Amino acid sequence: MSAGLVAPASAVDVVVRGRVRRGARRRVVVAVLAVAVVVLFAVTLMVGQTFYPPGDVLRVIAGEQVQGASFTVGRLRLPRAVLAVVAGLCFGLAGTTFQTMLRNPLASPDVIGISTSAGAAAAVGIVLLGLSGTAVSTLAIGAALGVALLIYTLAFKDGVAGTRLILIGIGMAAMASSVTSYALSEAGSWDFQETLRWLNGSLNGTTWGATVPALLALVLLGPVLLTQTRNLSALQLGDDTASALGVRVERTRLLAIVAAVGLIAFATAACGPIAFVSFLAGPIAARIIGPNGSLLVPAALVGALLVLVADLVGQFAFDTRFPVGVVTGVLGAPYLIYLIARSHRTGGSL
């Protein structure tokens, strides 16, 4: 009898030790990602045509007047760096929410038409309606929320099937791209340049006026998604299993979609649709942290890292400066091709 009791106890110990190791690894990885974000944020504030040492940067952040640095760091680099972090957090958190909820790596706002629709609305606003500044951002936010609601409504039939939502979203993205192409064909030279700058996703000319709304959206909507971590993880097991575990499936899905789309909308309104950050952040976080546990926080930090790194590369790695969205697009497009090729080779789903 005693021998029969030893084996289960040992098995339980193995499971417990495994969970402890995975939890420790997760905490270490999250801490390393957070430190990397802070380091790159500091580097973004220090480097440029003029290098400012950490002491000067800290004095500017503390509100002191430092000759040269107060304007360059305080007025130019600091809003840009803050928006890079905020936008990366928003894109990473929202993209991973969609991918987790719909159990498909293609289910990111880049692919299912939400970011594309915001861009199309901005193009129409700039070129055809003569809007600028806050009016363009407001129109983009409204378009992202409206299209997300339309996609959800069209995909709803006794619940929302992930594949159906993705296919409808891809169709909406195609229509939005057509609208954008038409608007660009009607644009004058100035409007054309302004629209392209917005569509490419750019941190150039960032001001606190553009940064604060995105930051407020992150502060308000980010915790909403984090409170749904357990329910989103249960949805990965399927709707029936999640319901059996006590999850209110459609309520959770609708709440997650509204919060995630809000993050995407405000981040896109601030800096344009930075390509593929929401698409890449989750898979990269999964490779780093492992398959177990929620990816929301790690993916948000990876999103911030992607935007910060891409912005530094776009500014200083080449003779010509490139918008941040161009750099992330170069990174994301090959991964999208890889996913499709892998699906075709294995005959499985994405």
pLDDT of 181 higher than 70: yes
pLDDT of 2 higher than 50: no
Q: What's the one-letter identity of residue 241?
A: T
164's CB contacts (< 8 A; 6+ apart) are 155, 157
Segment 284-336, tens digit of pLDDT: 898 888 766 788 999 999 999 999 999 999 988 888 888 898 898 888 778 77
The reported pLDDT for the residue numbered 225 is: 92
Segment 138-173, tens digit of pLDDT: 888 888 889 888 888 887 776 666 677 888 888 888
Alpha-carbon separation of residue 272 from 23, 117, 120, 175, 321 (angstroms): 36, 11, 11, 18, 17
Among residues 191, 193, 84, the alpha carbon closest in space to that of 132 is found at: 191
State which H helix or E strand residue 299 sits in.
Answer: helix 296-316
The reported pLDDT for the residue numbered 333 is: 77
Confidence of residue 339 (pLDDT cuts 50, 70, 90): low
Angle, to 10 degrees, between the axis of helix 296-316 and the axis of helix 2-46? 30
Segment 225-261, tens digit of pLDDT: 999 888 888 887 777 787 887 888 778 888 888 899 8
pTM (2 d.p.): 0.87
300's CB contacts (< 8 A; 6+ apart) are 88, 89, 92, 93, 96, 222, 281
Largest CA distance in the chain: 86
Q: How many helices (H) and strands (E) does the chain have?
A: 15, 0
Among residues 297, 306, 288, 248, the alpha carbon closest in space to that of 96 is found at: 297
